[in-house]
Amino acid sequence: GEDVEQSLFLSVREGDSSVINCTYTDSSSTYLYWYKQEPGAGLQLLTYIFSNMDMKQDQRLTVLLNKKDKHLSLRIADTQTGDSAIYFCAESPYSGAGSYQLTFGKGTKLSVIP
């Protein structure tokens, strides 16, 4: 079945790099996602990676994908206090009839220490 695992908490100092890890189970996932949730708000798509890619970089964000191990990571360079939030990893396993359904991990709460 589908299962997405992430560590629940991460604490880093401002200016350091943050690395949030995720493992997923369904190899049919075409895309893998990172969503960010700030306090009192809904989730917002942060970045995504296509399953045939190993790495994607977007400004301070780097996504690494190891498809063999079904491991996804999100690296935030020069972490700022504004990056404090909950980060959700998500996979999109095929759910039939040409559709893919998002499955979320439990979220990693990133706390940035000034």
Partner 1 sequence: EADIYQTPRYLVIGTGKKITLECSQTMGHDKMYWYQQDPGMELHLIHYSYGVNSTEKGDLSSESTVSRIRTEHFPLTLESARPSHTSQYLCASSAGQGHTEAFFGQGTRLTVV
State yes or no: residue 109 binds partner 1 (CB under 8 A). yes
Complex with partner 1: residue 27 or 77, whichever CB lies closer? 27
CA 29/CA 60 separation, integer angstroms? 25
**3-state secondary structure string across 10-77:** EEEECCCCEEEEEECCCCCCCEEEEEEECCCCCEEEEEEEECCCCEEEECCEEEEEECCCCEEEEEEC
Position among 17, 106, 111, 113 found at the interface with partner 1 (CB under 8 A): 106
Task: Please report the sign of the dihedral spanned by the C-alpha atoms of residue 111, residue 85, residue 46, residue 34.
Answer: positive
- Provide the residue type at 18 as one letter: S
State yes or no: residue 94 binds partner 1 (CB under 8 A). no
Site string for partner 1, 13-52 (x = CB under 8 A): -----------------xx-x-x----xxxxxx--x----
Position among 86, 89, 110, 112 found at the interface with partner 1 (CB under 8 A): 86
For partner 1, the binding residues (CB under 8 A) are 8, 30-31, 33, 35, 40-45, 48, 86, 88, 92, 98-102, 104, 106-107, 109
